[in-house]
A and B are shown apart, each in its own frame.
Chain A
């Protein structure tokens, strides 16, 4: 249906640069996430793809055609907003039918299409009810129905689940993803929720301050963050970063924290100064034989696992371990880090290339 390419996309609002110079490609049929904190430029990027905002410079091509300076109406894209704006005086059927009626589609055809969409969304039984009386979920389904009924080339969704409570949100997320799997339409989805992005996305762009920090498949981004921002933004709890003053030579397979050396994947780059050693919580294992010491400051029970917080010489460290392993506040122990999984960050906050992450990061 649609392959969308973004090249050197930039947007300025007066003196403020909302999007610096974004480049990434959304493949046909992908569920694509724009992820970042508020103010990072993700919604502006989405609005530019949809044509609701015209870029200051750069290219947006849809199936090879440059549409960057074209209005929304000429792009064949459907937009689903966080606040599902339905026509309150119409029933669900009329709301869904609206885009078709305004295209002057024959009545019988409209009815057939609306019925089909209602079946896909499982809302056949509410079609004749006024939208005012519907639950939040059903209203959202009607809004989705209105977006998918005209079979656009692509869907743009701006935090469509943001207003829903946690339990319901998870259900709608699953529903949305299942809907996408059935329809296969290219979808660009904005969220600030990293778990939602990991869970639903085929690919993720992580943005911060108008800059694309990383672009790739969820597991790669989680395992091999390109920057400290990504390391911290993705994962709950986030990646631990041990701060230390030191240097690392290309080719080395260990770093010297000053009071302990830690094995890691062979480095391709070197760096010196204020460095950070990144390790995910599930790759930290309490092991009293290890020289790097920590004192337990908190434990958080999560059912299958628990999060144990340690105070260490290079800052706080969190470990995700099995819930049945004993850990009590005040306990002192050594910490073992899974060497194959570590990332070293330079003073500029960028990950140094290593034998482990170069496949993911080398392409930029």
Chain B
């Protein structure tokens, strides 16, 4: 496995700036998740590292070697796309074995079989090995396309929303599995998603992209607990962070325009009187939709709260985040 380094990478599509001077080091063995809404530059970054996109400024190095001028095949990367692309005339087994049978690798037959079986079991498709790829459900096809990347041991795995087409249970299983495989192999993995749960649970590092700029890069815990901006703060956390006028609870630090409150930064039972608008029972916790001086605030409370809606609940901030008028964190 290898370290991946991006240095001052920019990419334009006509007048649109897709990536704006991105520099980032993906350490050897790291699981890096790029997070951001549609159009933030996540997929473009992935395509530039893979070599599918070559017309860009700046440099990409994999394992200390510049990738300039190299084709995707020469870069020793394995890719998984959101849209699975399998060989429809081949069985699941042959689809999985295909990368191993390439003339460059010349993997021995029994080794191919053992690897295919192991990956198939991990991805819960071992019982479908002899099926034609076209006889699978969408979720199964996607697992095969993930498997086709995992049978190889490239310098880096590149994955573009590989779990987004799967149902919730399978997604939860595969999150754990992918993470385990990556950790066991010490694989370097660059992964694109807009699902914050995937980012939080799998990543060793999260890169937050905003309109082509890398605005924060660090462990998920750091981004959650110490966001650099309002934008970064809003990327992680469910329910989403509450962003309110700085003076809503009284005194605010100089220059503060916005106060940011995650549920754990809201103390219930003292402070300003908020109205309970709606009580949502999620099972393990209950979400409260509050109304305070014309603003909506969402927080969480105990699963078996006696609140039902219509009550008054005093709340106050506890160690909140403060942001200035540009959205940058000031404390």
**Residues in B134-180 with C-beta less than 8 Å from chain A:** 167-169, 172, 175-176, 179-180
> Within the assembled complex, what's the spacing in Å between the Cα atoms of A222 and B283?
5
Interfacial residues of chain B within 268-289, with CB under 8 A of chain A in the complex: 278, 280-284, 287
Are B281 and A222 in contact, with the CB atoms below 8 A? yes
- A150 interface hit (Cβ, 8 Å): no
List chain B residues, Cβ under 8 A from A222: 281, 283-284, 303
Count residues of A near B (Cβ-Cβ below 8 Å): 37
**Do the beta carbons of B168 and A301 come within 8 Å of each other?**
no
Knowing A199-B282, A303-B200, the reply to whether A193 touches B168 (Cβ < 8 A) is yes
Q: Which of A165, A195, A281 contacts B282 (CB 8 A)?
A: A195
Cβ contact within 8 Å between A301 and B284: no
Are A218 and B284 in contact, CB atoms less than 8 angstroms apart? Answer: no
Flag whether B195 is at the interface (Cβ < 8 A).
Answer: yes
Complex contacts, A329 vs chain B, CB 8 Å:
183
Give the residues from 5 to 23 in chain B that come closer than 8 angstroms, CB to CB, to chain A.
none
Given contacts A298-B176, A298-B179, contact A304 B264 (CB under 8 A): yes
Give the complex CA separation of A303 and B287 in angstroms: 16
A236 at the interface (CB under 8 A from B): yes
- Over the window 279-323 of chain A, the binary record of Cβ atoms lying under 8 Å from chain B Cβ atoms (1 yes, 0 no) is 011100000000000000110111110010100000000001001
* A237 adjacent to B237 (CB under 8 Å): no
The interface bits of chain A over 47-66 (1 if a CB of B lies within 8 angstroms of the residue's CB, else 0) are 00000000000000000000
Distance, CA A280 to CA B282, complexed state (A): 13
A167 close to B37 (CB less than 8 A)? yes
Binding site of A, secondary structure by majority: helix, strand, loop or mixed?
mixed
Expressed in whole angstroms, the Cα–Cα distance for A115 and B204 within the complex equals 51
Number of interface residues of B (CB under 8 A): 36
A67 to B169, CA, bound (A): 37
* CB 8 Å contact bits of B26-65 with A (1 = contact, 0 = none): 0000000000011000000000000000000000000000
Q: Which residues of A contact B303 (CB under 8 A)?
A: 219, 222-223, 282
Give chain A interface residues in 234-265, CB to chain B under 8 Å.
234-238
Give every chain A residue within 8 A of B287 (Cβ-Cβ).
199
Alpha-carbon distance A281/B172, docked complex (angstroms): 14
A218 with B278, Cβ < 8 A, contacts A298-B180, A302-B201, A303-B224 known = no
Q: Complex formed: what's the CA distance from A303 to B224 in Å?
A: 6
Residues of A within 8 A of B224 (CB): 303
Known: A298-B179, A323-B221. A218 touches B281 (CB 8 A): yes
A234 to B282, CA, bound (A): 10
Q: Which of A166, A177, A194, A199 contacts B195 (CB 8 A)?
A: A166
A192 touches B167 (CB 8 A): yes
B238 at the interface (CB under 8 A from A): yes
Q: Are B172 and A236 in contact (CB under 8 A)?
A: yes
Contact assessment for A303 and B238 in the assembled complex, using a CB-CB cutoff below 8 Å: yes
B89 within 8 A of A: no
Interface residues of B in 94-126 (CB under 8 A from A): none
- Residues of chain A within 8 A (CB-CB) of B175 are 300
Looking at the complex, which one of A167, A192, A199, A218 makes contact with B194 (CB distance below 8 Å)?
Answer: A167
* A301-B220, A323-B221 as given contacts; A199 in contact with B280, CB under 8 Å: yes
Nearest to A322 among chain B residues (CB) is: B264
Bound state CA distance, A105 and B79, in angstroms? 58
Q: Residue on A with the closest CB to B238?
A: A303
Q: Does A175 contact B (CB under 8 A)?
A: no
- Chain B residue numbers with a CB within 8 Å of A234 are 283
- State whether A219 and B200 are in contact (beta carbons under 8 Å apart), knowing that A199-B280, A303-B236 are contacts in the complex: no
Contact check, B37 vs A235: say whether CB atoms are below 8 A apart. no
Within 8 A of A (CB), among B242-301: 262-264, 278, 280-284, 287, 300
Measured CA separation A265–B27 after assembly (Å): 51
| Nearest CB of B to A82, in Å | 15
Cβ of A357 to closest chain B Cβ, rounded Å: 14
**Bound state CA distance, A299 and B232, in angstroms?**
23
B330 within 8 A of A: no
Q: A178-B278, A303-B236, A304-B237 are in contact. List 10 more A-B contacts (CB 8 A).
A: A167-B37, A181-B278, A194-B168, A199-B287, A217-B281, A234-B283, A280-B284, A300-B176, A303-B237, A303-B238
A and B contact pairs by CB, cutoff 8 A, 29 listed: A166-B195, A167-B37, A178-B278, A195-B168, A199-B280, A199-B282, A199-B287, A217-B281, A222-B283, A222-B284, A223-B283, A237-B172, A238-B169, A280-B283, A297-B180, A300-B176, A300-B200, A300-B202, A301-B200, A301-B221, A302-B197, A302-B200, A303-B224, A303-B237, A304-B262, A309-B176, A320-B284, A323-B221, A329-B183
**A residues neighboring B (CB under 8 Å):** 165-167, 177-178, 181, 192-195, 198-199, 217-219, 222-223, 234-238, 280-282, 297-298, 300-304, 307, 309, 320, 323, 329
